[in-house]
Amino acid sequence: MKRSFVYSIIGLLLFISCNQLSKEEQEFDALMQKVINVHDEVMPKMGEMSTLIKELESKIDTTTQGKSYAKAQQDIKDSYDFMMTWMSDFSDQFPHETESSKTDSKKIASQMELLKKEEVKVIELKNQINSSIKNAKELLKK
């Protein structure tokens, strides 16, 4: 009985040590969380962007001011489209995987390079969204 308990403990310790993440996996997971956090920060603004697009629509005409509204609206539409494209591309590049498929160090290294590029894109996305919203609000005096 004691022997089986000892073997169980040894087995459990081996299981735990084998399931710990490598340094590369930890770095990958940390960067992935950073990218997801930026996405999660701007995702709630999609509704606000839709509202601004509609509000700007009613102010567009052939005057100089009307053209400013049209440009602001197009900037928001471009930001909205950028978000939708980014999300689609991101989910294609980083599909949900099982833990066992992450253990290949070459795969982690190549995915890390892709993720670093996605970090740059998502920060650009955040800046574009925030800038287009700010500009539209200033034009609409909100």
- Return d(Cα 31, Cα 33) in angstroms, integer: 5
Of 125, 97, 122, 124, nearest to 111 (Cα)?
97
- Tell me whether residue 10 is in a domain: no
- Domain membership of residue 13 (yes or no) is no
How many structural domains are present in the chain? 1
Confirm whether 135 is domain-assigned.
yes
**Within a domain: 63:** yes
**CA-CA distance, 127 to 115, in Å (whole number)?**
18
- pTM assigned to the model: 0.78
Higher pLDDT, residue 11 or 115: 115
* Residue 51 belongs to some domain of the structure: yes
Give the model confidence (pLDDT) of 58-83 as tens digits.
999 999 999 999 999 999 999 999 99
Look over the chain and give the mean of its residue pLDDT values, rounded to a whole number: 86
- Residue 26 lies in domain: 22-140
pLDDT at 29 over 70: yes
CA geometry: angle 94, 76, 81, nearest 5 deg: 30
Is 8 inside a domain boundary? no
**HSE toward the beta carbon, residue 99, CA cutoff 13 A:** 6
Return all residues near 67 (Cβ < 8 A) that are at least 6 apart: 60
User: Per residue in 111-130, pLDDT tens?
Assistant: 999 999 999 999 999 999 99
Q: Is residue 103 assigned to a domain?
A: yes
Assign 1 a pLDDT band (cuts: 50, 70, 90): very low
User: If you count them, how many residues does the chain have?
Assistant: 142
Dihedrals phi, psi of 47, to nearest 5 degrees = -65, -45
| Within a domain: 92 | yes
